[in-house]
Amino acid sequence: MRENTIVKVTKDSKVLDVLRFCPTTVKVFYTFQIYPFRDLSSDLETVALKDDADLESLLKELNGLLASPAVAGEAVGFVPGRKIHQNMSFRLVTTRHPATRDVFDRYKVLKLAEEYWPDEKMSFFAMGLNLSPDKLVTELNKAVKAEEASQLKTSVSSQPEDIHVGFMKMSVIFALTTGCLYGAGILFYFGMHGTLYGVPRAILEAHGHTQVYGWVGLFIMGISYFALPRFWGTSLYNVFMARMSLVPMTIGIVLVFLSRHLLLIGDYIPFRAMSIVGSLIEVAAICLFLYIMTNTYRSNSTRKFEVYEAYFFAGYGWFLIQALMFVGTMTYMAYNGLNTVPPLIEQPMLHMQIMGFACMVILGILTKTLPVFLGIKEPKKDVNLYVFLLLNVSILSRVASLFLRDTYPLFETIFLAAGCLEGLAVLLFFYNLRLHRIGEIESGMPRKEFRKFIKASLFWFFLAESALLYFTVNEFYTGAEMSYAMFGAYRHAIFVGFITMMIVGCASKMIPMSLGQQLYSYRALFWTFVLLNTGSVLRVTCQPLAADYEMNSLFLPMGISGFLEYGALFLFGYNVWKTVGQRQVQEGKGTTERITKVTPETNVYQLVTQHPQTLDVLVNRGFKQLKNPVLLNTVARTVNIGTAVTIHTTDLGSLLEELNEAIDKKNSHAQDAP
């Protein structure tokens, strides 16, 4: 005979015993509008009286059920990812989703259910609690969602903090070798010879290619892998794949660079094959990058779309399109025995690289981070969307008109319209930033040296775009194309003044912060700023004045400017290496302890990532900005609780108490879970 067997239910039988022996009796109670979980310790006579039920009929129904053979219902198997439904058993639901225990605990049936009804279905509990099964199931699924979100948070916090370091280091290596060093050498040659010609175009193109793919491309891949999963509150789709994507990208860039030089020796098939294979490998690396980023984006389906994401994915799309075009160009050049990119392809491809890829992604980073970095209000989302649409339409129409304007005169007008649309988009972008209000909302960021880089790069962006608009209109009305020297100056203002300045500014903030470190040298950062701007000003002014206005004396300062910029990037590279090196030393010492007790010295970022439940405590205490993943993943890494209460006044003692309580509660729950 089963333990606590009930042969016949009487008026003195306890509700709990009846339910324990035969959970299906809950249905009988339910039909009599008796909700047994409220009166488990009462006898049937009492509850019948209290709920105005006919005791005789209740006893008759209950005994009728006990006598029938099919007493216990069969619980349905668990399907991962599938929502909880009323036919699932308590055991399955709470084992798979420990967070649902809180729901049963809230209804004060957790212990009882564990002891007496582990295999009963959710419908049983719903009836017992006078809840509609849907209501109980919804509550349980909500708890599961919250659990998944916090697991996601935990998994996010378990993301490698250094996923971007390899990419940043490699991009610096490219900039300091085939990129800026090469460029500075070419420029010095031009300066010493008082001309902008005499160096094989293939070499200039090879320099440009490694800069766009190596310096800018690898930086953007690294920062995307690190920052975007954190902004999206999710985890990188595949860390190993992400790390590995650095390899094909590097191999592809090196193969293309080498092949462009070897082809100067002679038009041999292996060299041609190398240029095509190299560009194909680059495309494969970009596809892998896109695959990882798209799956990472899709992995958190609860999130709402934000405009800055459109900038990122459009930028990645243009990166892929121009890379596919480059494969086509290398193949076309192989077939036609050419060593330089045909002019008809060069301009459109360059515009996709500059505006489609590099500027688009950087505008995405700015849209998301500038409010925190510059202490300004969040730019208007709808205006940002217009800027995005205008920019992409202008790129598309400019690229099309660059291809077709020699064949179809209509495209001359489209070329002009594209230029004006781009100008309008950039003006709207600046208007929406409201830069005159920098520092309006201070986020407590301790060091602000990087801000001058952002301001300077925005100045260069505005200058370069104004120049491009002027040249576009001038070209339409006079038919006079922008001179080679002037176009080189424009391109340099964008690539070095805007993009490189922004990369250096963001990286000198993000890298130390992401590693929980201070930047190695703020003096080196200062000289990076001075040298980079001096070099750019010299290049952008002297090159057109020397070449177009025959001010030959300016060829020398132009020729030297490249080495000033190289010096700037060398100092930056040195700073990155040393800062990362500091982290590795720290790691050697194993400093990132597990936080068991919150003190004024506890780092806010470490606390929230190790104990996600403390975020709600901090937010309820007024640290609302911590809900912003940018701020959480940047400023919070440099702030401890003691400093935080000086930025936003609240009582430190009670805050520490509440935080420690939250940690203890979670720990005790974890201990209780089966």
Closest approach of ligand HEM to the CB of residue 507, in Å: 14
Cβ nearer to ligand HEM, comparing 197 with 240: 197
Query: What does the block give as tokens for 510?
Result: 């993000």
Which parts of 55-94 interact with ligand HEM (CB under 6 A)?
none
Q: Give the three-class secondary structure for 14.
A: strand
Is the distance from CB of 398 to CB of 413 less than 8 angstroms? Answer: no
Q: Which stretch binds ligand HEM (CB under 6 A): 129-137, 201-209, 265-273, 282-290?
A: 201-209
Position 187 contacts ligand HEM (CB under 6 A) = yes
Binding to ligand HEM by CB under 6 A, coded x per residue (else -) over 455-494, reads ---------------------------------x--x---
- CA gap 592, 637 in Å, rounded: 12
Position 562 contacts ligand HEM (CB under 6 A) = yes
Q: Give the three-class secondary structure for 140.
A: helix
Among 75, 109, 180, 310, binds ligand HEM (CB under 6 A): 180
Cβ nearer to ligand HEM, comparing 162 with 205: 205
Binding to ligand HEM by CB under 6 A, coded x per residue (else -) over 597-616, reads --------------------
**Dihedral, CA of residue 281, residue 282, residue 288 and residue 293, to nearest 10:** 180
Q: Give the three-class secondary structure for 592.
A: coil
- The 10 Å Cβ neighbour count of residue 439 is 10
Q: Which stretch binds ligand HEM (CB under 6 A): 5-13, 176-184, 245-253, 522-530?
A: 176-184
Closest approach of ligand HEM to the CB of residue 605, in Å: 32
Q: CA dist 319 to 35, 78, 122, 344, 433, Å?
A: 63, 44, 52, 19, 26
Among 204, 251, 338, 647, binds ligand HEM (CB under 6 A): 204
Position 205 contacts ligand HEM (CB under 6 A) = yes
- CA gap 425, 622 in Å, rounded: 37
Closest approach of ligand HEM to the CB of residue 182, in Å: 8
Cβ nearer to ligand HEM, comparing 358 with 639: 358
Position 362 contacts ligand HEM (CB under 6 A) = no
Closest approach of ligand HEM to the CB of residue 570, in Å: 10
Angle at which helix 501-514 crosses helix 522-548, to 10 degrees, equals 170
Among 66, 333, 334, 496, binds ligand HEM (CB under 6 A): 496
The torsion region of residue 593 among left (phi > 0), alpha (psi -120 to 50) and beta comes to beta
The contacts found for 261-267 with CB under 8 angstroms, 24 or more apart, are 261/202, 261/203, 261/206, 263/202, 263/339, 264/200, 264/202, 264/203, 264/339, 267/337, 267/339
Residues contacting 94, CB < 8 A, separation 6+: 100, 101, 104, 113, 114, 674
Is the distance from CB of 506 to CB of 450 less than 8 angstroms? Answer: yes
Quote the strand ranges of 36-172, DSSP E. Answer: none
Q: Which stretch binds ligand HEM (CB under 6 A): 61-69, 148-156, 179-187, 475-483?
A: 179-187
Cβ nearer to ligand HEM, comparing 28 with 362: 362
Position 174 contacts ligand HEM (CB under 6 A) = no
Q: Which stretch binds ligand HEM (CB under 6 A): 43-51, 209-217, 259-267, 366-374?
A: 209-217
**Dihedral, CA of residue 628, residue 424, residue 219 and residue 364, to nearest 10:** 20
Is the distance from CB of 11 to CB of 43 less than 8 angstroms? Answer: yes
Among 32, 35, 37, 215, binds ligand HEM (CB under 6 A): 215
Interior/surface letters 558-581, b for 16+ CB within 10 angstroms, e for the rest: bbbbbbbbbbbbbbbbbbbeebbe
Residues contacting 293, CB < 8 A, separation 6+: 224, 225, 228, 237, 312, 313, 316
Position 216 contacts ligand HEM (CB under 6 A) = yes
Position 495 contacts ligand HEM (CB under 6 A) = yes
Is the distance from CB of 360 to CB of 314 less than 8 angstroms? Answer: yes
Is the distance from CB of 538 to CB of 188 less than 8 angstroms? Answer: no
Q: Which stretch binds ligand HEM (CB under 6 A): 81-89, 180-188, 262-270, 364-372?
A: 180-188
Position 444 contacts ligand HEM (CB under 6 A) = no
Position 325 contacts ligand HEM (CB under 6 A) = no
Q: Which stretch binds ligand HEM (CB under 6 A): 178-186, 263-271, 277-285, 388-396?
A: 178-186
Closest approach of ligand HEM to the CB of residue 484, in Å: 7
Cβ nearer to ligand HEM, comparing 204 with 239: 204
Position 212 contacts ligand HEM (CB under 6 A) = yes
Specify the residue for token string 């105005």: 52
Among 565, 580, 602, 663, binds ligand HEM (CB under 6 A): 565
Closest approach of ligand HEM to the CB of residue 566, in Å: 5
Position 207 contacts ligand HEM (CB under 6 A) = yes
Is the distance from CB of 259 to CB of 178 less than 8 angstroms? Answer: no
- CA gap 54, 77 in Å, rounded: 38
Closest approach of ligand HEM to the CB of residue 639, in Å: 34
Cβ nearer to ligand HEM, comparing 212 with 425: 212
Among 117, 312, 429, 566, binds ligand HEM (CB under 6 A): 566
Among 208, 252, 364, 612, binds ligand HEM (CB under 6 A): 208
Among candidate residues 584, 585, 604, 583, the one with its CA nearest the CA of residue 595: 604
Backbone angles phi, psi at 520, to 5 degrees: -60, -50
Cβ nearer to ligand HEM, comparing 93 with 206: 206
Backbone angles phi, psi at 14, to 5 degrees: -80, 140
Q: Which stretch binds ligand HEM (CB under 6 A): 31-39, 184-192, 265-273, 417-425?
A: 184-192
Position 167 contacts ligand HEM (CB under 6 A) = no
Q: What is the CA radius of gyration of the chain?
A: 33
Q: Which stretch binds ligand HEM (CB under 6 A): 263-271, 558-566, 598-606, 639-647?
A: 558-566
CA 272-277-280 angle, 5° bins? 130
Query: What does the block give as tokens for 65?
Result: 């059920």
What is the end-to-end Cα distance of the chain in Å, rounded?
29
Query: Total residues at the site for ligand HEM (CB under 6 A)?
Result: 24
Residues contacting 139, CB < 8 A, separation 6+: 103
Cβ nearer to ligand HEM, comparing 32 with 461: 461
Which residues of this chain interact with ligand HEM, rule CB under 6 A? Answer: 180, 183-184, 186-187, 204-205, 207-208, 211-212, 215-216, 346, 350, 488, 491, 495-496, 499-500, 562, 565-566
